[in-house]
Amino acid sequence: MSYEAAMLKQLAMPTRQQVGEALLRALLKHGGVVKEFGAGQEIVIELADECELNDLQRSAFLETIYRKENRLKKSNLWHRLLFRAADSLAKENLVTRPTQTVRLTNKREWMLTEKGLDQALALCNIPAAEKDDLSTKSYEVQKIVKKLLEASTPNNYDPFDRKKTSKSITRESVLRTRGFRQAVIEAYSHRCAVCGLKVKSPDLITWEVQAAHIVPNGLLGRDDVCNGVALCHLHHWAFDVGWFTLMDDYKLQVSPKIHSLPAGVGKIGDYELFGALAAKRTKISLPDKHAIYPHRNAIGWHRQNVFHYGS
């Protein structure tokens, strides 16, 4: 038995598999990514708490003598176990190593793969059918997100994807749909572009904000960030049914039909939803990058075909 293995046994440390499963659950909670493990990092402490480590287990060190330099090297046993568990997950293609992730995100992080996300969902007893609604990153989806966020859009942009004629659902189309959702939400900093609402579910797995297509997906609208806008559930519905639209200067335009609403309709307590929008007449919040603003061709289509602007 090696020195390290003997220490693990002596201190009754959790197994590598147990730590790996705890890490997968933590990755799901943290949006699919965690930083490299280092002393004092929150994720290191969080996983130690998850594994119910005592003070001795958290502070134990391995001591190694460098023969050439006759120097003593100390390494934290818990950190080594964390790294070895993460490395095992990487060998099973459940996570990507920081050296791989940094090439995609410029951040040294462990990131879930699609396979790892599926396993994390199973460990947390979350149905696989709910995966499409999660904002959790996976390496495969994040590659699509990066491409969408870095895209440039021509002035003659066509918001319709004429290739969306096949009714068959492929793995690529599912990843593209999730990539669109995550790219839009990231572009708007996880906030509703209209009201600014930003909140996560209590389990920290989903954001309230949604990625709304301007030209609807069901009408062959493209999965491009410039054909999308981040909206809370309520404003997403109101936009989709035509209670408000966007002008070319990105100011809100509210339907004149609000004036014919019966008393008490369109209110949340004393708050008049549509009245507040009509009074606002301000621009929506927009992404930092101008190239992925809602495209005028897309919002022009929405005005004419959903909002019926001017009618």
Cβ–Cβ under 8 Å, residues 192 and 198: yes
Give the pLDDT band (50/70/90) at residue 173: confident
Q: Which of 222, 126, 241 is nearest to 183 (CA)?
A: 222
Residue 65 has pLDDT above 60, yes or no: no
- In angstroms, the CA 244 to CA 307 distance is 7
Q: Which of 260, 262, 256 is nearest to 311 (CA)?
A: 256
**pLDDT for position 211:** 97
Write out pLDDT tens, residues 3-54: 889 989 999 999 999 999 999 999 999 999 999 887 678 999 999 999 999 9
Report percent pLDDT > 90 for the chain. Answer: 70
**pLDDT for position 68:** 60
Q: Which of 256, 273, 27 is nearest to 137 (CA)?
A: 27
Write out pLDDT tens, residues 227-262: 999 999 999 999 999 999 999 999 999 998 888 888
Q: How is the chain split into domains, by residue range?
A: 3-94, 145-307
Write out pLDDT tens, residues 79-111: 999 999 999 999 999 999 999 999 999 999 999
Q: What is the dihedral of CA 101, 139, 147, 106, to 10 degrees?
A: -20
Residue 66 has pLDDT above 70, yes or no: no
Write out pLDDT tens, residues 137-163: 999 999 999 999 999 888 899 999 987
273 to 81, 191, 192: CA distances (angstroms): 53, 18, 15
Cβ count within 10 A of residue 212: 23
Tokens 């408000």 locate to 244
- In angstroms, the CA 82 to CA 87 distance is 9
Structure tokens at 300: 């022009």
- As a three-state string, the secondary structure of 103-147 is HHHCCCEEEECHHHHHHHHHHCCCCHHHHHHCCCCCHHHHHHHHH
